[in-house]
Amino acid sequence: MHAGDPLSSHFRLSDAHTKALNRLGIKMVRDVLYHFPARYEQAGGSGSVAELVAGQDVTLVGSLEKLEAKKSWKSRVPMTEGFLRDDSGRIKLRWFNQPYIAKMYAEGALVRASGKVTGSEGKLYLANPSLQKISIEEAGMFTPEEVSAELFAVYPESRGVSSLWFRSAIKKIFDAGVEMNDPLPPEMLKKYNLPTLHSAVVWIHQPKELKNATAARKRFAFEEVFLIQVERNRERAALSKEQGFRVEASHADMAEFMDDFPFAPTAAQKRAVAAILKDMQRGAPMGRLLEGDVGSGKTAVAATAAYATVRTRPAGQNFGTLQVAYMAPTEILAKQHFESFIQYFEHFPINIGLITGNGCYKFPSKISRTKATTISRAQLLKWVAGGEIPVVIGTHALIQKSVKFKHLALVVIDEQHRFGTNQRRALARKEKTLPHLLSMTATPIPRTLALTLWGDLDLTLLDEMPPGRKRVITEVVAQGERAAAYEKIRAQLKEGRQAYIICPRIDEPDPEKLFALQAKSVKAEAKRLQKDIFPEYRIGVLHSKMKPKDKDEVMVQLLAHEIDILVATSVVEVGVNVPNATVIMIEGAERFGLSQLHQLRGRVVRSVYQAYCFVVPESKGEATVARLKALVEAKNGFELAELDMAQRGPGELAGNKQWGISDIGMEALKNLKLVEAARTEAQQLVAHDPTLRAHPTLKAAVESRTAAMHFE
């Protein structure tokens, strides 16, 4: 068997299985080998039936009784029920949607069953337990210590394929023997004391001891971070060879532009501008990431870069200008940037276009130097293609084929870090010259993650807030203080301000269910607040189940102050500047990472008024309150992101789902040394062998990873 073989050539798969495996991205033998266990259970079981308590994760060893497929009487969902008996008693087993289980086991079969103890006292059952058959020898002929020395793998839960399926597939693959080429060079394994691919695969799926599994996980973590780094370094190397636009703006010009800001730029903004201008003069395309908390003034930096660009003539021409595309994640944000740009460019004779799904605009209008006007899409596209409109702002709509530029020299991407490189290429498809890229984000992430994800970009931190900005007064609302917090919110509302109330985070892997649950909790909370707490104010709701159009409408109402209080989920990107909103209350705060809380708090940071954030934990534990107190003291989001990483792991980082790194890779990011080692190795390897000619297996691995990421 070869790792690159399709699964179907070695396994008989039902349609349902194939579908379930496809959902997990598993198509080849290799994919099964790289589908890593979430955890390991002791073979001998971790408890006995008589001692179970609800909520516990347990592995029991015993015999099966009376397995039977049925339909649940309420919802008619197919299910299987039965019992597991050990020396101390028996407990019910219950599976939903797995009617075939009953056929797979004989009455009295010996198994180990792992699952969550569910239900209430006297009516406990194991929900969707994973089963593994065990032999009489295993169950009877060893001492309990010997049995419990063996570990078995439990795989991430996924509908339609069980842990059992994975364990037996792995066994089958190992029994047949599998050929695999190791993408990591042997010298590297030796240097970092990492197991070979072959050992690691065996150890991670069938560890004899936990420390083997740990060594294997470390290897795969290194491998993943290394592959990402190799890819990023190749991109960087390729980029540095490309011809870029030489943007030459005089210092006097730039100073004049910035002097017209209604404020003095911060030192951090000046540093960022200087770095960007230097990049853009160099000749090779810039790749820079500007990271700064909400309100740190990224737009002004982007506007300055845009100005430098549009002040430059295309090479060999004494007319026309280079062009800028500015991409925002939502229409409302695109509109806001358009308005900001109008302000920044007020004194300069430059046309600015806005493309949205609901119409196109141009600034200035023919009639007024200070106003924008609507124009037809066709007209706007014509002017963009002809180069008459040098600055174009929009959403993803900018990437559409119909949008063509004449001399696109700078692409600014706001809050869309994931797409940077591809979208630059998509935007530049017509150009021989690759435009400069300025990617901006307020997502606070730790250094290791930034190094890994954006190894191809240079990083600038905007780590200073404009002066005079009032800090958000943050309070952790302890038990018994809720009513007082509501009164403080009411005081703000009475002053004519507006408020956000964020409902607790819900953990539910199935997005459909998640959205439904969130919608329910938002609606219920809004209803309760309207009835019991704020009957005199207008309350709006925002959640992911709403259509984009309805979401936009709510945000427009909020901006227009037709809503006083917005009750929302955290998942909804409330990334819009509503300067009149001065209070945010976050319920179930301990369910969020600190950096997420910080981002939520960022919603009220823009206000000219003093802003407040009430952080309401559900639990009253001291540790919880202490952790949340970091929000009161931390200087910026990066500090909180590092804290999250150290205290609770990468799972808590804001937006962690969108980064395309596996759980194992994310775990590795806690380890700065490992990340730096992988990065150094990748840099050296790419410097010596940019085409990876001497490392064909590595090359294939990098390319298949990249292809998978771009395909998503």
Residues forming the site for ligand ADP (CB under 6 A): 263, 265-266, 269, 292, 294-300, 442, 466, 606
- What is the SS3 assignment for 413? strand
Q: Measured on CA atoms in the order 158, 109, 167, 48, is the torsion positive or negative?
A: positive
Residue closest to Mg ion when measured from CB atoms:
298
Question: How long a stretch of residues is the chain?
Answer: 712
Output the smallest distance, CB 395 to ligand ADP, in A.
Answer: 16
Task: Identify any residues that bridge with 63 across adjacent strands, giving them in sequence order.
Answer: 85, 110
Query: Among ligand ADP, Mg ion, none, what binds residue 300 when CB lies within 5 to 8 Å by partner kind?
Result: ligand ADP
**Which lies closer to ligand ADP via its Cβ, residue 111 or residue 302?**
302
Query: Among ligand ADP, Mg ion, none, what binds residue 294 when CB lies within 5 to 8 Å by partner kind?
Result: ligand ADP
Residue closest to ligand ADP when measured from CB atoms:
297
Output the smallest distance, CB 698 to ligand ADP, in A.
Answer: 39
Query: Among Mg ion, ligand ADP, none, what binds residue 269 when CB lies within 5 to 8 Å by partner kind?
Result: ligand ADP
Output the smallest distance, CB 482 to ligand ADP, in A.
Answer: 30
d(CA 79, CA 92): 13
Query: Among ligand ADP, Mg ion, none, what binds residue 421 when CB lies within 5 to 8 Å by partner kind?
Result: none
**Which lies closer to Mg ion via its Cβ, residue 416 or residue 530?**
416
List interacting residues with Mg ion (CB under 5 A): 298
Parallel, antiparallel, or unpaired for β 539-542 and 612-616?
Answer: unpaired
**Which lies closer to ligand ADP via its Cβ, residue 207 or residue 295?**
295
**Which lies closer to ligand ADP via its Cβ, residue 295 or residue 446?**
295
Output the smallest distance, CB 289 to ligand ADP, in A.
Answer: 13
Q: Which amino acid is at 153?
A: A
**Which lies closer to Mg ion via its Cβ, residue 293 or residue 667?**
293
CA distances from 404 to 280, 416, 538, 674 (A): 22, 21, 44, 43
Beta strands in 463-563, from DSSP E residues, in sequence order: 473-476, 498-502, 539-542
Output the smallest distance, CB 306 to Mg ion, in A.
Answer: 14
Output the smallest distance, CB 298 to Mg ion, in A.
Answer: 5
Give CA torsion, residues 486, 489, 491, 493, to 10 deg.
Answer: -130
Specify the DSSP class assigned to residue 533: I
**Which lies closer to ligand ADP via its Cβ, residue 281 or residue 636?**
636
Specify the DSSP class assigned to residue 589: G
d(CA 470, CA 268): 18
- What is the SS3 assignment for 386? helix
User: Residue holding tokens 């198509």?
Assistant: 27
Q: Is 340 in contact with 299 (CB distance < 8 Å)?
A: yes
d(CA 316, CA 313): 8
**Which lies closer to Mg ion via its Cβ, residue 215 or residue 472?**
472
Output the smallest distance, CB 346 to ligand ADP, in A.
Answer: 13
**Which lies closer to ligand ADP via its Cβ, residue 298 or residue 311?**
298
Output the smallest distance, CB 348 to ligand ADP, in A.
Answer: 17
Contacts of 276 (CB under 8 A, 6+ apart): 286, 288, 301, 304, 305, 308, 438, 460
Contacts of 636 (CB under 8 A, 6+ apart): 293, 444, 463
Output the smallest distance, CB 340 to ligand ADP, in A.
Answer: 7
Find, among 326, 332, 295, the residue nearest to 542 by Cα. 332
Query: Among Mg ion, ligand ADP, none, what binds residue 195 when CB lies within 5 to 8 Å by partner kind?
Result: none
**Which lies closer to ligand ADP via its Cβ, residue 112 or residue 298?**
298
User: Exposed (0-12), middle (13-18) or buried (19+): which is 636, by Cβ within 10 Å?
Assistant: middle
